Structure 1
């Protein structure tokens, strides 16, 4: 799994009735885009995460990443 700042991380719900959880990667702490990642959720909470096999990186388009991101 490789990511860059501004990408989205989708953690799929593991059971029926649990939705996917989408967060923004705000910092890559591993080498060459590898985990762990500092992430921010929609409510503004930040944490460090090493995603499991139930997670997928959605890469940001160049136009989505601007100054301050």
Structure 2
């Protein structure tokens, strides 16, 4: 998994009824884009260092 600042991190709920979470990558700890990432969660605005698991994916940021 590789990300760039501005990409979206999507975490699927791990249990039945858990919501999908969306965050924006606001910082990288490694120059090659590998985890962990500093993420701002869109639902709470909380910023956290995230080590994404197998239930997550990165969606590339696109500009229009």
Fold-level similarity (TM above 0.5)? yes
Higher helix fraction: Structure 1 or Structure 2?
Answer: 1
Give the alignment's TM-score, normalised by structure 1: 0.83
Structure 1 position 27, deviation (Å): 0.7
Tell me the equivalent position of 1:67: none
Aligned length: 63
Structure 1 position 59, deviation (Å): 0.6
- Mind listing any 5+ residue stretches in structure 1 that lack a counterpart? 65-69
| Alpha-carbon distance in structure 2 between the residues aligned to 1:8 and 1:27 | 12
Structure 1 position 39, deviation (Å): 0.4
Give the alignment's TM-score, normalised by structure 2: 0.89
Q: Pairwise CA RMSD of aligned residues?
A: 1.2
Tell me the equivalent position of 2:16: 16
